[in-house]
Amino acid sequence: MTAATAALHFLLAFMLVACLAVELALLKAPPERVPFPALAKIDALYGLSAGLLVAVGLYRAINFEKGWAYYSHSLPFLIKLGLFVAIAIASIYPTIHFFRARHGDKHVDRTTIDRIRRIVHLELALVAALVVCASLAAKGIGFVT
């Protein structure tokens, strides 16, 4: 069961990163050709993977691995949670635009698309930092009493 939840956690994390990478690729198109219906679907998948990551992650932290008594004193783990919240907040702006423009009735200009791309880049950078924190927490580095 521990291995199964660990594998699920990895698969969900890969799914989340893949969604962000696909969003970036689709946002490269000229403004009038950006496929907002597809972006809205991928963003929904991204939201689903993020939601399941929290559920599986918390379940692991509380029931498996080193237990909540350890994680609540692990600085990298707490930073990891903070980064996760920051990523969730950053994703609100792109999500709003993808869903508003998905029926093709709302024009999104180049400036807004560039801003969305910068935000998705930032989200990917924060995920990279989060993975470093995940590894430090897993190896017992940064435990504070």
- Applying CB under 6 A, the residues found at the interface with ligand HEM are 9, 13, 16, 53-54, 57-58, 60-61, 65-66, 81, 84, 127, 130-131, 134-135, 137-138
- Whole-angstrom distance, CA of residue 112 vs CA of residue 92: 14
As a whole number of angstroms, the distance between CA 98 and CA 102 comes to: 6
- The set of residues, in sequence order, having a beta carbon less than 8 Å from that of 36 and lying 6+ positions away, is 97, 98, 101, 102, 104, 108
* Shortest Å, Cβ 86 to ligand HEM: 11
Smallest gap from Cβ 137 to ligand HEM, in A, equals 6
> CB nearest ligand HEM: which residue?
57
Please give the structure tokens belonging to residue 26.
């689709």
Least distance CB 28 / ligand HEM (angstroms): 23
- Whichever of 107 and 139 has its CB closer to ligand HEM, that residue is 139
